[in-house]
Structures are given as structure tokens and as C-alpha cells.
Amino acid sequence: MKQETRFKAKGGSALSSLRLEVEQAMGLKFPERNGESIVRFEESMEIPRAAEMLMRGLYRDPERVRQGFKLLHQETGSLLDILMPRRSRLREWADSLPDRPRDAEAFLKQTTDQLLIREQRLVEAERDLVDQLKECGLEDVFPIPLSAFGTCTYRDPNVKIFLKPIGRFAEILQMNPESLRLVVRVHFLFSLLLIAGADLDGQVYSRGGEDEVIHWLTSEYTFRYLKSQSTELIQCYQEWVKAWGGKPPNQNLINEQTCEKTRATMVFWRRQLNISWEECWQIINQVERYQALI
């Protein structure tokens, strides 16, 4: 479903409410047009190339594993084809001894030889399948590129999140898919607001190029927002961030003083396109020390 999502300033929808909460948490606003906040936010059912391994799941070679199960099923069936008639005959002879002992002896020898051959085949098929299963695991899936879940474009700022990979990730980690979709939406809303939002004075600044800083700041603000929601959402978000190799959110951001300092640096950094985050942080520290002396 491709669309440019517009949130009316006084809209009552859940997404509009979420947009307002994100703006309040970061202290920025989405640009407006004709009195409406314009949030270019698309939710897509497509599967990006970056998500192909995730969609494949925990199996390196799903078709090979599938064939392994098929072979084991066949060998198990072949074994049962021998065992079931043998069991029936043994039950019959337990009630009434066979008329000709030599025929019974030949039957037992023949079926025993067949069982040994089939059992060997079954054991080999099972051993091969177990070896394949041992090779499969989360380490083959992680880390997952962030672009497998969504993209945030700096030029002509917009967001697209991919619902199928998000659902697949929730399935693999046995998460609540609704909770995961919510934390991903919140994360990318913060990311979009960070790179293209307007300051409270109405000036729009677009900052890109420092992906690591943008991902870190987005995670910090998302974590702070989710902290006020529920423990489940926090745990869900932490697992998701870990999956794409993001930095764990800094617990110190919960401290109001640190939060204000981070926000002041963020506002300054967005306006100074030629200054790195580290330099902006040092400048804010210097200003803070100077003010303390006054």
C-alpha cells in the first residue's frame, strides 16, 4: 500500500496521536502544508533484497532440509512396511504355533535381514538430517540489515517499512507481531523527524550523512518513549535493535539533565551541517561549563 501519509494537526487517529507523541518527545515538528503535518510514511508488503535471508528463516538450504525430512519419512515408512506384517505374524504365532518351524525360521531370518538394511538406511538419513539441522540457527540470520525492515531516505525525506520481514522476524523470535510493528513504526517516525523535522521556531533542517549518529539518536529517543509505554515494548525493541546491530540505548538518557543536554546537542548538530556530532557535543559541554561559572 503505497501512499504519502498525512496527519491532520487535530486528527484523532491512532497514527496521528503517535505522531504527536513522537514530536513532543523529540521537541521537533513534522513540516506542515496547508495546516496539515506531512509525514511521508509508507507501509509496504514487498520483500526487499536485504530481507531475503530473513524470509528464508533459520535454514541455510531449506530445500535440502525438506528433502532430508522427506527421505527420513520414506525410510521410516519402509521400516514400518516390514515391521507391521512381522508384528502381525508374530502375534499370530504367539497364539498358535506355526505348522512348519522351518518356514517360521526362514521368515524371521528374511525379515531380520531386511530390517537391518532398512534400519541402516534410516540411521544414515537421520544422521544426515541432524547434521543439517545443527548447521541452522540464528547466527545465520543475524545481523539483519536495518534496510530489511525499513528505509529512511535523506534526500526528499521519506520512510518505507516492510511488513512481511517484520512479521517474519516476530515469528522467528516468537514476538507479538503487533508489538513489533509498533516499535518499528515509532523508530522510523523518530528517524524521519530527526532528519527532516522543523525546530519549534518553524525552521526546517535536513541532516543526513552520519548514519551511525542518526541510528543512535533514533534508538535513544525511541527507547525513552517506549519506556513510558510497557515492558513488553521495551524488550521487543531491544531484541529488534540487537538484530540489526544497533547500539543498545543508553540508560542515562532517562536522566532528565542528560536528556536535555542530548537534545541541545541534537538541535545544534542539525543546524551545523559541517560539524560532526562529537564536535557539537564538545561545544555544548563548553557552553555548559561556561554557564556554570557565571
For the chain, the structural domain boundaries read: 5-56+142-254, 62-136, 255-294
Q: Is the peptide bond before 165 cis (omega within 30 degrees of 0)?
A: no
Q: What is the pLDDT of residues 212-234, one digit of tens each?
A: 888 888 998 999 899 888 889 99
Q: What is the pLDDT of residues 85-129, one digit of tens each?
A: 999 999 999 999 888 999 899 999 999 999 999 999 999 999 999
Q: What is the CA radius of gyration of the chain?
A: 31
User: What phi and psi, each to the nearest 5 degrees, are found at residue 41?
Assistant: -135, 110
Give the Å distances, CA to CA, from 83 to 112, 123, 253.
Answer: 10, 16, 67
Q: What is the pLDDT of residues 221-270, one digit of tens each?
A: 999 899 888 889 999 999 999 889 888 776 655 666 777 888 888 888 88
- Dihedral of CA 269/184/50/162: which sign? negative
Listed residue (30, 39, 41, 17) closest to 229, CA to CA: 17
Residues above pLDDT 70, as percent of the chain: 87
The amino acid that residue 275 corresponds to is I
